[in-house]
A = this chain, B = another copy of it.
Amino acid sequence: MTGTPESHHETPARIIISVDAMGGDAGPSVVVAGIAKSAKKNPDIGFILHGPEEQLAPLVARRRILRDRVEIRDSRNVVTMEDKPSQVMRSGKGSSMWATVDCVRKGEAAGAVSCGNTGALMALSMLRLRKMPGINRPAIAILWPSRNPQGFNVMLDVGADIRADATDLLQFALMGVSYTRNSMDIAMPRVGLLNVGTEEHKGRAELKEAYALISKRAEDASFEFVGFVEGSDIPGDIADVIVTDGFTGNVAIKTGEGTASLIRSAMREAFEYSLLSRFAALLALTSLKRLSKRIDPRRVNGGVFLGLNGTVVKSHGGADATSVSAAVKLAFRLAEQGFAQKLAARVASAGELNQDNTAAAKAGTAPK
């Protein structure tokens, strides 16, 4: 939608995604393999790839599918997993991550993807893209496998941010609703607020306040508020959007991922135990593959930064080619739907109402 690189692209319909080739655990070759996978599946996608040119050029040249579809932009510096966000904001200019985000700011790309350090990526994205007017705190939303018909729930914030007040949580709810509507085609998403119990009297003060705020906005913002939900509802079917602060969300998804990965190993061990069980696994191969696809976290790789003037997708640091390709696909879909613009419109219309709500809650007039 927004811009194509000035260079060798002859198909103006292509949507350009800006990709950081550096910063992932496995290095640029995996990122190049990932974009090649995307290029193969999707003829309407083009790339601007950021990193040291002498490393990237041979990797790209080796993939025929990438010919004329990738513009390499030379960046000398790499943001590492150990770099502090504050440090990256001061001295990150010239890094591949900075350049990746900046392409979105300049309108050269419709979305950005990076496997690098989450904190640094969020800091740079806020610095370069700026928060949308009316947003206090951007959030990172992920898809989580669930029992819902769509197969996934949206959870936010998972961004490791230390705290979120009631107004932040309301904004997360509104952004999550918009994201769910755009990425999953659900007209009336159901929103749950994560707590340690479903009873209204439980939990922290800011959660009770957020309960009142979100509840009040449900009707005019066209979502259903199901109230407090628990950790077990994140993969459940009573809500489509799970709202929480970045600390709790981050711990929850990592616990869920770790548990899923433990079960996968245990399953592998169980089927490798004896000759008979190996034979059974062979027979059950299709079933096992179907199962594995259903619970494969690589398929839902990609945390979307919400609340910024532009689309940034954070891919898992340990991403392989399949995961990188999933993150690219997500950035592409959101770009194609003009999601960032729709979200901005929604937040803008919600802006004044939020302030009304906060005032009402403080005056004790908010509904239960």
Partner-B contacts on A (CB < 8 A) = 82, 84, 119, 145-147, 160, 162-163, 194, 196-197, 199, 201-204, 230-236, 244, 246-248, 250-263, 265-267, 269-271, 273-274, 276-277, 279-281, 283-284, 286-288, 290-291, 294-295
A247 near B280 with CB under 8 A, answer no
A232 near B255 with CB under 8 A, answer yes
Main secondary structure of the interface of A (DSSP, over half): helix
Contact status of A284 and B291, CB under 8 A, knowing A145-B262, A247-B248, A251-B196: no
Contacts of A235 in B (CB 8 A): 255, 258-259, 261-262
Nearest Cβ distance between residue A231 and chain B, in whole angstroms? Answer: 3
Cα–Cα distance between A199 and B82 once the two chains are bound (Å): 8
B203 near A231 with CB under 8 A, answer no
The complex is assembled from copies of this chain, and their number is 2
Contacts of A267 in B (CB 8 A): 267, 291
Cα–Cα distance between A294 and B269 once the two chains are bound (Å): 11
Contact status of A262 and B147, CB under 8 A, knowing A231-B252, A234-B255, A287-B270: yes
Known: A84-B201, A196-B251, A281-B287. 7 other contacts (CB 8 A): A163-B204, A231-B257, A235-B262, A253-B255, A267-B291, A276-B284, A280-B284
B231 near A253 with CB under 8 A, answer yes
Contact status of A251 and B231, CB under 8 A, knowing A204-B162, A260-B259, A280-B280: yes
B270 near A254 with CB under 8 A, answer no
